[in-house]
Structure 1
């Protein structure tokens, strides 16, 4: 549970750093992913503090929905889906810019992987709690 909380907290702080410190505005799909990652950081932190193993019931749906949005975003980024990704503003960065790569991976891919790992950890927690 601690690892899932740490991942969600690190992801939340990372995207806040990218937008608030680096000044890169998030696109619409990034905002939707944040809407599912930020609550995970809070509820998983509280659950870790209280050793609440039943948190998986509430956190898995958030992680799965956020992961689905991230997968859709990644498929748009990769060009698998025909709809183009557009920046939020005319002067804002696009998700397809090289500035949106971290460790050589696009942010949508990192988001999908993070949601996936959190989901896997929470499902493992479910097996332990049962």
Structure 2
């Protein structure tokens, strides 16, 4: 495994770890109860911390296929969640998410940064890194 691939693997793990700590901070420290869509995003992000950590330790770059899959699904959910928060025509058709509304915004930094936006950024960073890892290992063959 090249140094570039190794650094990308470490970067992906760092992004997943930071996103996980951030979501735990919002729910456990700030006491923001996650909505149903937030839980789906967590279900896809949390395992990446372990999967990518083990893959990095084992120098297994092929795990990028798994991280890419998890992240594409997570990014789709995050993008949908963000759109029902920010686009009025999407809010009208938003599903009921249980006790906590999926259209609610616990944070709204600079008028556009919400929790689903942060998750979307993390998933996109992992997607881009996974693609770069896959291209690099394909080029090594």
Report the TM range for the smaller structure's normalisation.
Answer: 0.7 to 0.9
Counterpart-to-counterpart distance in 1, 2:110 and 2:55: 31
What count of residue pairs does the alignment treat as equivalent? 127
Counterpart-to-counterpart distance in 2, 1:87 and 1:57: 31
TM-score by length of 2: 0.81
In structure 2, the residue matched to 1:34 is 42
Give the root-mean-square deviation of aligned CA atoms. 1.9
In structure 1, the residue matched to 2:62 is 54
Structure 2 residue corresponding to 1:10, chosen from 18, 21, 45: 18
Q: Is the 8 A contact 2:85 2:102 kept in 1?
A: no
Counterpart-to-counterpart distance in 1, 2:102 and 2:67: 30
In structure 1, the residue matched to 2:28 is 20
Instruction: Please list the CA deviations of residues 47-78 of structure 1 after superposition, one character each: whole Å capped at 9, or x if unmatched.
Output: 11111111112111101001110011011111
List alignment gaps of at least 5 residues for structure 2: 1-8
List aligned pairs for 1:1-130, cutoff 5 A.
1-79=9-87, 80-81=89-90, 82-84=92-94, 88-89=98-99, 95-97=103-105, 99-102=106-109, 105-130=113-138
Counterpart-to-counterpart distance in 2, 1:44 and 1:72: 25
TM-score by length of 1: 0.87
Structure 2 SS opposite 1:68: helix
Structure 2 SS opposite 1:101: coil
- Residue 20 of structure 1 and its aligned partner are, at CA, apart by 0.9
List alignment gaps of at least 5 residues for structure 1: none
Structure 1 residue ranges, 4+ long, deviating more than 6 angstroms after superposition: none
Q: Go from structure 1 to structure 2 and tell me whether the alpha carbon gap of 1:41 and 1:128 turns closer, same or farther (over 3 Å shift).
A: same
